[in-house]
């Protein structure tokens, strides 16, 4: 069977991760970036064609099966819709878009053009998160009472000043979109939809550097009645401190922590113990800062499975929309 052919739109840092796994599992046919030197560097590294805009790539690359959208957040919707309408399947990096309205347009384009759309949510593949999902689905915690999500990372002014889009309202969107949308996705995936939120957001340390908050405290009530808190900041001094999720149930308590939801830190479950968890891979390393866990190999394995073995899409557009919907609720209810 012929290997699946991919193209990458946007050749920034995360595109390096995509290219690595595409070259192992499929064929990287072409890349593009508005900074031609960046596209050329990636193209030459993987011996593929390169372009300086998406329209040129689309006009010349008719045999590509899937376009991976790795551009700034605010471009995801328009570029995904364009790709779907031109007959490509799409793998879209997080966040799916910056508004629910745009997410709906993306889903509509997917259905109208009879194509497939995958949303990158690689933290679902963290081994302790997989175990937590199993335990919740098997009702081993009994009724869930509350959940606490803590995201304490470090993003200094240099991180934003080195970028021509991070920290901007139009292309970045906010700290929850760029830094912590994976964490919000896990709340939805594990606990369910959120009914109501109250948010308190401030910019303490990055005034004049970014267009939005650097710190937030959120109180949430889920549709199931579960209560939750989200505490997040990019002001952890000097380095990332913690990314953790703690679930309190009638029959057990579990905390998945570490810096990236990659360590089982605490468990106390009635008549049950989690044993022999696989070790998590390394986080995405970007030099003076680190990002989320690097599970993009699992994301691409799912894509290949869907196209070659009639597998099921791991994260659909409808699920990607829910993350954006929750973030929109948080940003629209600031006190």
pLDDT in tens, the chain (335 residues): 589 999 999 999 999 999 999 999 999 999 999 999 999 999 999 999 999 999 999 999 999 999 999 999 999 999 999 999 999 999 999 999 999 999 999 999 999 999 999 999 999 999 999 999 999 999 999 999 999 999 999 999 999 999 999 999 999 999 999 999 999 999 999 999 999 999 999 999 999 999 999 999 999 999 999 999 999 999 999 999 999 999 999 999 999 999 889 999 999 999 999 998 876 555 545 454 455 557 999 999 999 999 999 999 999 999 999 999 999 999 999 88
Q: In what order do the strands lie in the sheet with 227-233?
A: 194-202, 215-222, 227-233, 144-152, 242-249, 252-257, 263-269
Q: Are residues 166 and 180 in the same domain?
A: yes
Considering 264, 281, 298, which residue would you say is the last residue of a domain? Answer: 281
Rounded alpha-carbon distances, angstroms, from residue 170 to 65, 75, 112? 29, 9, 27
Q: Could you give the count of Cα atoms lying within 13 Å of 76 in the half-sphere of its Cβ?
A: 36
Residue with tokens 């995904």: 80
50: containing domain: 5-119
Specify whether the CB–CB gap between 99 and 324 falls below 8 A.
yes
Q: Are residues 272 and 215 in the same domain?
A: yes
Rounded alpha-carbon distances, angstroms, from residue 301 to 138, 167, 306? 26, 32, 9
d(CA 47, CA 334): 48
Q: Are residues 154 and 61 in the same domain?
A: no
Rounded alpha-carbon distances, angstroms, from residue 329 to 174, 197, 221, 232, 334? 13, 7, 12, 16, 9
d(CA 25, CA 297): 9
Query: Does 305 fall in a domain?
Result: no
d(CA 278, CA 270): 22
Rounded alpha-carbon distances, angstroms, from residue 39 to 11, 159, 160? 6, 22, 22
d(CA 175, CA 232): 9
Query: Does 330 fall in a domain?
Result: no
Q: What is the pLDDT of residue 2?
A: 83
Q: Are residues 41 and 89 in the same domain?
A: yes
d(CA 142, CA 274): 16
Q: What is the pLDDT of residue 81?
A: 98
Question: According to DSSP H, which parts of the chain are helical?
Answer: 13-25, 36-45, 54-60, 76-85, 100-112, 127-137, 157-161, 175-178, 181-191, 296-309, 317-331
Query: Does 322 fall in a domain?
Result: no
Q: Are residues 25 and 154 in the same domain?
A: no
- Can you give the length of the chain in residues? 335
Q: Are residues 211 and 92 in the same domain?
A: no
Q: What is the dihedral of CA 307, 310, 314, 317, to 10 degrees?
A: 70
Considering 84, 119, 154, which residue would you say is the last residue of a domain? Answer: 119
Specify whether the CB–CB gap between 149 and 283 falls below 8 A.
no
Q: Are residues 115 and 128 in the same domain?
A: no
Specify whether the CB–CB gap between 315 and 121 falls below 8 A.
yes
Q: Are residues 54 and 178 in the same domain?
A: no
Rounded alpha-carbon distances, angstroms, from residue 17 to 122, 141, 228? 12, 36, 33
Q: What is the pLDDT of residue 282?
A: 57
Q: What is the pLDDT of residue 289?
A: 47
Query: Does 270 fall in a domain?
Result: yes
Number of structural domains found in the chain: 2
Residue with tokens 């007959």: 87
Nearest to 190 by CA among 97, 322, 297: 322
Q: Are residues 258 and 139 in the same domain?
A: yes
Q: Are residues 103 and 156 in the same domain?
A: no
């Amino acid at each position: 069977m012929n290997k699946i052919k991919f193209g990458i739109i946007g050749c920034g840092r995360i595109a390096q991760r995509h290219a690595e796994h595409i070259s192992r599992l499929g064929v990287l046919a072409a890349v593009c970036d508005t900074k031609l030197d960046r596209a050329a560097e990636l193209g030459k590294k993987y011996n593929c064609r390169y372009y300086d805009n998406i329209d040129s790539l689309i006009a010349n690359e008719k045999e590509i099966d899937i376009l991976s959208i790795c551009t700034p957040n605010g471009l995801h919707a328009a570029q995904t819709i364009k790709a779907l309408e031109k007959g490509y399947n799409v793998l879209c990096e997080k966040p799916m878009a910056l508004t629910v309205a745009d997410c709906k347009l993306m889903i509509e384009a997917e259905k109208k053009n009879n194509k497939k759309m995958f949303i990158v949510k690689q933290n679902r593949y963290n081994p302790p998160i997989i175990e937590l999902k199993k335990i919740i689905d098997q009702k081993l915690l009994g009724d869930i009472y509350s959940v606490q999500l803590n995201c304490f990372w470090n993003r200094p002014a240099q991180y934003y000043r080195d970028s021509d889009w991070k920290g901007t309202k139009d292309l970045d969107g906010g700290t929850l979109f760029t830094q912590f949308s994976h964490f919000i996705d896990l709340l939805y995936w594990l606990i369910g939809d959120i009914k109501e939120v109250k948010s308190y957001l401030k910019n303490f340390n990055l005034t004049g550097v970014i267009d939005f908050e650097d710190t937030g405290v959120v109180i949430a009530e889920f549709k199931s009645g579960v209560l939750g808190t989200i505490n997040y900041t990019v002001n952890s001094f000097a380095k990332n401190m913690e990314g953790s999720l703690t679930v309190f149930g009638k029959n057990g308590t579990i905390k998945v922590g570490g810096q990236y939801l990659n360590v089982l830190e605490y468990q106390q479950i009635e008549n049950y113990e989690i044993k022999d968890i696989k070790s998590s891979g390394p986080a995405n390393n970007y030099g003076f800062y680190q990002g989320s866990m690097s599970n993009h190999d699992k994301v691409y394995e799912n894509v290949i499975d869907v196209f070659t073995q009639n597998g099921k899409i791991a994260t659909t557009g409808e699920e990607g929309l829910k993350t954006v919907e929750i973030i929109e609720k948080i940003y629209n209810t600031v006190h």
